[in-house]
Amino acid sequence: MDASPQLPSPLEETQRSGLSLGLAVWLFSLLGLGGALYARWAWTPHSVTREGTSIQSLFDIILGIILVAFILVHLLLGYFVIRYRARGREAALYFPHHTALEVTYTAVPAAVLVALSVAGMVLWSRVHAPPPPDAFVVEVRGEQFGWSARYPGPDGKLGRVDNRIPAPFNVDPQDPASRDDVVSPQIYLVANRPNRVLLRTRDVQHSFWVPAFRLKKDLLPGATTELVFTPTQTGEFDLACAELCGVGHYTMAGKVRVVTQEEFDRWMRQQARRK
């Protein structure tokens, strides 16, 4: 069958320089690198929880690895497109495989990724370790479109909640455990001890996201999820909803206040007196 080409090939006319492409690739990768470093050191919130700090450390290790890989690949890519442009009669090298090279660059990424995965799994288990029995407990509720908190009070127990009950936080007033529950729009957490934040939603999914903690957890309708962590610093920190929950999702901003145990106890006594 004669399938020989009939017209001159536009291929010859694309014997162009790869200089602009190579320089662009290098430039983008350098800008990307610079931006990443700047964003890490100037924009990333500093962690104020123990777990968040470990997470941030693992993030940094991985960041280092991927930035090296990113620069390396772009260095080669840019160099190759500049250096190996089509020139006259010079031929390409017929090089369809090289076993040692292929095995190396399969094994090395595999080893690195497995190591990172193991590190991640270990940290993951730590972050999800069961809370100690003396953890500070607060229940945070999200709803369309705001946050509120409930504290178990001296009895250490949270009363039953039923969304149909027309009471603050829909707490069942008949349940004896709810008698000393304190409901408040203000979310308090206590520094330097494990905090167990129970998360509950009234309607659709939300997510409890405190950037400074480096932690978030979804609020799941029909269930209570939880986040266990130890804040290392007092202060007021921004809270946002990180799961699309409707038209007012962008208004679900809030604050959490990390205080000392004494400050919290004082506040609880004030609330009890008000009741």
Partner 1 sequence: MAAAAEAHVHVEHPHRESFWTRYVFSQDHKVIGLQYLLTSLFMALVGGALAMVFRTQLAWPQSGILKADQYLAAISMHGTIMVFFVLTPALLGGFANFLVPLKIGARDMAFPFVNMLSYWVFALSIVPLVASFFVPGGPLNAGWTAYPPLSALPQAAPGSGLGQTLWLVSIAIFCVSSLLGSLNYITTILVLRTRGMSLMRMPLTVWGIFVAAVLALLTFPVLMAAGILLLFDRLAGTSFFVPGGLVVGGQVIPHTGGNPLLWQHLFWFFGHPEVYIVILPPMGIVSDVIANFARKPVFGYPAMVASMLAIGILSFLVWGHHMFVSGMHPLLGTGFALTTLLIGVPSAVKTFNWLATLWRGKLYFSTAMLFAVGFVSLFVAGGLTGIHLGNAPVDIPLHDTYYVVGHFHLVMGTAAVLGIFAGIYFWFPKMFGRLLDERLGRIHFWLTLLGVYGTFFPMYYLGMAGMHRRIYDYRAFPYLAHLQPVQVFITLSAFLIFAGGLVLAYNMLRSLAAGRPADRNPWRGTTLEWSTESPPPHHNWPGEIPQVYRGPYEYSVPGAPQDYLPQWEPEPAGVRVGGH
| Interacting residues with partner 1 between 60 and 79 (CB under 8 A) | 62-63, 65-66, 69-70, 73-74, 76-77
Confirm or reject binding of residue 30 to partner 1 (CB under 8 A).
Answer: no
With contacts defined by CB under 8 A, name the span among 32-40, 134-142, 149-157, 180-188 that binds partner 1: 32-40
Cβ 264 to partner 1 shortest distance, Å: 24
Backbone angles phi and psi of 143, in degrees to 5: -155, 170
Angle between helices 50-83 and 19-38 (to 10 degrees): 170
> What does the buried/exposed string (b/e) look like for 173-200 if buried means 16 or more CB atoms within 10 Å of the residue's CB?
eeeebbebbbbbeebbbbbeebbbbbbb
Q: Which of 123/268 has CB closer to partner 1?
A: 123
Say how far apart CA 244 and CA 250 lie, in whole Å: 9
Say how far apart CA 231 and CA 58 lie, in whole Å: 18
What's CA 244's distance to the chain center, in Å? 15
Which of 100, 133, 154, 164 contacts partner 1 by CB under 8 A? 164
The residue type of 49 is T
- Answer whether 264's CB lies under 8 Å from 149's CB: no
With CB under 8 A as the rule, give the number of residues binding partner 1: 115
Q: Which of 91/274 has CB closer to partner 1?
A: 91
Q: Which of 229/264 has CB closer to partner 1?
A: 229
Say how far apart CA 260 and CA 246 lie, in whole Å: 35
Q: Which of 5/154 has CB closer to partner 1?
A: 5
Q: Which of 24/272 has CB closer to partner 1?
A: 24
Cβ 99 to partner 1 shortest distance, Å: 9
Angle between helices 99-127 and 50-83 (to 10 degrees): 160
Cβ 177 to partner 1 shortest distance, Å: 18
Closest CA to 58 of 109, 122, 107: 122
Q: Which of 80/260 has CB closer to partner 1?
A: 80
**How many alpha carbons lie under 13 Å from residue 60 in its C-beta half-sphere?**
13
48's tokens: 């104020």
Considering only residues 107 through 126, tell me which ones interact with partner 1, judged by CB under 8 A: 109-110, 113-114, 116-117, 119-121, 123-125
Backbone angles phi and psi of 19, in degrees to 5: -65, -50
Q: Which of 114/272 has CB closer to partner 1?
A: 114
Considering only residues 206 through 225, tell me which ones interact with partner 1, judged by CB under 8 A: 207, 209, 211, 214-223, 225
Say how far apart CA 241 and CA 218 lie, in whole Å: 9
Considering only residues 216 through 275, tell me which ones interact with partner 1, judged by CB under 8 A: 216-223, 225, 238, 240-251, 253
Confirm or reject binding of residue 100 to partner 1 (CB under 8 A).
Answer: no
Q: Which of 16/269 has CB closer to partner 1?
A: 16
Which of 23, 30, 46, 105 contacts partner 1 by CB under 8 A? 105
- Answer whether 197's CB lies under 8 Å from 189's CB: yes
Considering only residues 174 through 213, tell me which ones interact with partner 1, judged by CB under 8 A: 202-205, 207, 209, 211
